[in-house]
C-alpha cells in the first residue's frame, strides 16, 4: 500500500506541474485546471484509503461527509461567481487555505514535540492565521464592505514591532518547552491581529498585489505542513503555490514600477494619496454614440482598451460583437492589454476569452504601444490608471514611472466612463483633458450596444 500511495503522490505531483504549465495560456487554462484538480482528487482518495490513518471507522464517514459538503459548496460557488468577483473569490480561498494550516498546527501542537517540530507547527499557525485574517480584510475591501483604509499613526512602526513581538513570543514558547493551550491560543490570536494590521492600511489599488502575496503565504503554509507530515504531495503543491504567488507578486510590482516594500509600507491608492495628487485642470469634450460610431466606421484601425468598468458592466459579449461588426466593415481591431488591467493579472484576457475573442487579438502592452501612433481611434472602456499619461510626465504623481498604455499617441481617443470620478488608485487622469480625447459617458454595456445599433445603420 505504501508503494501504491507513493505512486499516486508522484502522479498527482506531475499533474500539478503540468496543469500549472497549461494555465499559462487561455486556450489551455481550462484543461490545465481540470488536470491539476484530477491530481488533487487522486491524492485525497489515495490518502484516505491507502494511508494507515489508525482511526475509528466512523471517522471515514465524517471525512466523506466533509468532502461531499465541500464539493457541493465549491461547485455552487464556481457556477454562480461572476468574473468581476473572481479576485474576491481568490482572496476568500486564500483565507480558507491559511485557516486550514492554522487549524492543523493547533491540533498537532504539543504531544512531547521536539523543538524543530514545534518550530514547524508554530510557523504553520502564524503564517496560516496571518493569511486567513489578512485575506478576509482583502476580501472585504474588494467586496465594497470596507471602503476606508484605516491607518494608525506610525502604523508601519506599530506593525513591525508587533511582528517582532510575535516572533519573540513564539521563541519564548519553544524555549520553555511550552505545551500550554493558553499560550498557543494567545499566539493564534496575536497572529490573527497582525494579519488585520498588515492588510488594513494598504490602499485599494494595491489589493491585487496583496492577494497574490497572501496566496503565496497560503502555499508556504501548506508546504510547512507537508514538511511536518513528511508528505511529498503537500510539500510540492505548497511550493508550487508559494513560488507561483511570489513570481506573480513581483511581476505585478514590476508592471506598476514599484517595489514590494513600497506596496506594503507605502499605502498607495488610499485617501492620503488622492489628497496629495496634483489637481489636473482643463476642459473636457463630450461625445455621443452616434458621433463615435461615425468615427469608428471610417477608421482603418481601432484599438480597444478594456478595463474593470467593462467587467463590472458585463459588456464583454457586447464588445466582441462591436469588434466583429467593425471587422465586417474592413476595420482592423485589436485589444490592448495592460498587465494589471482589471483586478488581477490576466483578468481581461480571461474575460474576453470567455466570449471567444481570438487570442491573437489580445496584444500585451509592450507589443501594442508602438502601434498607437498609427491608430485612428482608441476606445478606452472602463480603464483609468493604466492609460494615465501622468505616469510619463508628472513626477509629482504617485504613479509616475509606472508603465502604461500609450493611448495618448493615437489620432483620436474615446473614453467610456460612467462619470469623471477617479479610478481605483484615486488620482485624476490627464488623458481626459487631452485635446484628442472625447468622453462618452454611460454604462459600458448600454453604450456599446448603442454603438452597435448606430454602426448597423450605416
- Is residue 155 within 8 A of residue 272, CB to CB? The reply is no
Dihedrals phi, psi of 22, to nearest 5 degrees: -70, -25
CA–CA separation, 66 vs 221, rounded Å?
21
The predicted pLDDT at position 205 comes to 63
The predicted pLDDT at position 147 comes to 57
CA–CA separation, 342 vs 340, rounded Å?
6
Of the options 3.40.50.1220, 1.25.40.10, 3.20.20.70, 3.90.420.10, the CATH number for the domain spanning 289-456: 3.40.50.1220
Estimate to the nearest angstrom the gap between the alpha carbon of 415 and the chain centroid.
25
pLDDT above 70 (res 453): yes
pLDDT above 60 (res 270): no
* Residue 78: CB atoms within 10 Å: 9
Give 212 or 290, the one with higher predicted confidence.
290
The predicted pLDDT at position 305 comes to 95
- Where is average pLDDT lowest: 88-92, 200-204, 355-359? 200-204
Q: What pLDDT, in 10s, does the model give residues 102-114?
A: 999 888 887 667 7
Q: Residue 311: is it exposed, middle or buried by C-beta count within 10 angstroms (0-12/13-18/19+)?
A: buried
The predicted pLDDT at position 272 comes to 41
Q: What pLDDT, in 10s, does the model give residues 45-58?
A: 888 888 777 777 78
Entry pTM: 0.78
The cell numbers describing 340, all together, are 494589471
Quote the mean pLDDT of the chain: 85
If residue 333 lies in a helix (H) or strand (E), which one and from where to where?
strand 332-337
CA–CA separation, 87 vs 69, rounded Å?
23
Give 59 or 99, the one with higher predicted confidence.
99
User: 432: closest CA among 289, 214, 279, 283?
Assistant: 283
Q: What is the mean pLDDT of residues 253-261?
A: 76
Which residue is catalytic, options 206, 277, 385, 406? 385
The predicted pLDDT at position 424 comes to 55
The cell numbers describing 272, all together, are 492620503
CA–CA separation, 319 vs 341, rounded Å?
16
Per-domain residue ranges for the chain?
1-80, 91-273, 289-456
Pairing of strands 301-306, 437-441: unpaired
Dihedrals phi, psi of 412, to nearest 5 degrees: -140, 145
Helix runs in 200-277, H state only: 207-229, 232-255, 260-266, 271-276
CA dihedral 26, 384, 202, 256 (to 10 degrees): 60
Give 240's contacts (C-beta < 8 A, 6+ positions apart). Answer: 16, 17, 20, 219
The cell numbers describing 299, all together, are 477608421
Q: What pLDDT, in 10s, does the model give residues 366-414?
A: 899 999 999 999 999 988 888 989 888 888 777 778 888 999 999 999 9
The predicted pLDDT at position 254 comes to 78
The predicted pLDDT at position 210 comes to 84
* Residue 56: CB atoms within 10 Å: 9
CA–CA separation, 205 vs 142, rounded Å?
10
The predicted pLDDT at position 279 comes to 58
Give 129's contacts (C-beta < 8 A, 6+ positions apart). Answer: 98, 99, 102, 188, 191, 192, 195
pLDDT above 70 (res 269): no
- Is residue 251 within 8 A of residue 339, CB to CB? The reply is yes
CA–CA separation, 150 vs 166, rounded Å?
22
CA–CA separation, 76 vs 25, rounded Å?
26
- Where is average pLDDT lowest: 26-35, 259-268, 423-432? 259-268
177 in catalytic set: no
Q: What is the mean pLDDT of residues 64-92?
A: 85
- Is residue 369 within 8 A of residue 387, CB to CB? The reply is no
- Is residue 279 within 8 A of residue 313, CB to CB? The reply is no
If residue 305 lies in a helix (H) or strand (E), which one and from where to where?
strand 301-306
Q: What pLDDT, in 10s, does the model give residues 139-194?
A: 888 777 775 556 667 777 888 899 999 999 998 888 876 667 888 899 999 999 99
- Where is average pLDDT lowest: 54-63, 72-81, 88-97, 148-157? 148-157
Give 22 or 422, the one with higher predicted confidence.
22
Amino acid at each position: 500500500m505504501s508503494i501504491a500511495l507513493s505512486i499516486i503522490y508522484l502522479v498527482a505531483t506531475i499533474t500539478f506541474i503540468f496543469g500549472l504549465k497549461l494555465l499559462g495560456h487561455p486556450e489551455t487554462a481550462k484543461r490545465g485546471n481540470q488536470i491539476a484538480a484530477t491530481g488533487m482528487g487522486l491524492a485525497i482518495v489515495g490518502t484516505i484509503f491507502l494511508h494507515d490513518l489508525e482511526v475509528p471507522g466512523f471517522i471515514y464517514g465524517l471525512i466523506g461527509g466533509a468532502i461531499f459538503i465541500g464539493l457541493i459548496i465549491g461547485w455552487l460557488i464556481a457556477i454562480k461567481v461572476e468574473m468581476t468577483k473572481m479576485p474576491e473569490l481568490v482572496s476568500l480561498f486564500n483565507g480558507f487555505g491559511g485557516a486550514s494550516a492554522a487549524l492543523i498546527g493547533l491540533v498537532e501542537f504539543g504531544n512531547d514535540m521536539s523543538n524543530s517540530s514545534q518550530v514547524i507547527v508554530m510557523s504553520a499557525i502564524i503564517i496560516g492565521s496571518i493569511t486567513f485574517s489578512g485575506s478576509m480584510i482583502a476580501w472585504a475591501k474588494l467586496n465594497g464592505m470596507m471602503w476606508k483604509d484605516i491607518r494608525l499613526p506610525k502604523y508601519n512602526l506599530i506593525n513591525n514591532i508587533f511582528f517582532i513581538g510575535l516572533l519573540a513570543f513564539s521563541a519564548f514558547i519553544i524555549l520553555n518547552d511550552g505545551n500550554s493551550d493558553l499560550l498557543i491560543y494567545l499566539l493564534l490570536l496575536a497572529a490573527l491581529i497582525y494579519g488585520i494590521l498588515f492588510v488594513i492600511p494598504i490602499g485599494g489599488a494595491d489589493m491585487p498585489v496583496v492577494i497574490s502575496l497572501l496566496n503565496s503565504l497560503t502555499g508556504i503554509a501548506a508546504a510547512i505542513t507537508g514538511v511536518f507530515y513528511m508528505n511529498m504531495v503537500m510539500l510540492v503543491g505548497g511550493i508550487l503555490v508559494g513560488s507561483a504567488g511570489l513570481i506573480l507578486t513581483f511581476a505585478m510590482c514590476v508592471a506598476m514600477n514599484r517595489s514590494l516594500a513600497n506596496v506594503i509600507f507605502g499605502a498607495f491608492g488610499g485617501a492620503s494619496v488622492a489628497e496629495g495628487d496634483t489637481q489636473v485642470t482643463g476642459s473636457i469634450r463630450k461625445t455621443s454614440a452616434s458621433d463615435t460610431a461615425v468615427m469608428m466606421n471610417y477608421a482603418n484601425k481601432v484599438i480597444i482598451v478594456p478595463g474593470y468598468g467593462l467587467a463590472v458592466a458585463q459588456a464583454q459579449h457586447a464588445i466582441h460583437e462591436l469588434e466583429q461588426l467593425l471587422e465586417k466593415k474592413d476595420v482592423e481591431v485589436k485589444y490592448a492589454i495592460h498587465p494589471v488591467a482589471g483586478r488581477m493579472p490576466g483578468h481581461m484576457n480571461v474575460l474576453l476569452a470567455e466570449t471567444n475573442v481570438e487570442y491573437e487579438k489580445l496584444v500585451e502592452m509592450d507589443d501594442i504601444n508602438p502601434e498607437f501612433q498609427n491608430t485612428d481611434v482608441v476606445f478606452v472602456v472602463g480603464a483609468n490608471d493604466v492609460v494615465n499619461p501622468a505616469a510619463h510626465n508628472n513626477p509629482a504623481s504617485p504613479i509616475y514611472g509606472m508603465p502604461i498604455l500609450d493611448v495618448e499617441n493615437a489620432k483620436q481617443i474615446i473614453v467610456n466612463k460612467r462619470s469623471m470620478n477617479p479610478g481605483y488608485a484615486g488620482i485624476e487622469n490627464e488623458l481626459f483633458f487631452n485635446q484628442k480625447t472625447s468622453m462618452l459617458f454611460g454604462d459600458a454595456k448600454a453604450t456599446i450596444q448603442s454603438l452597435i445599433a448606430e454602426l448597423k445603420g450605416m
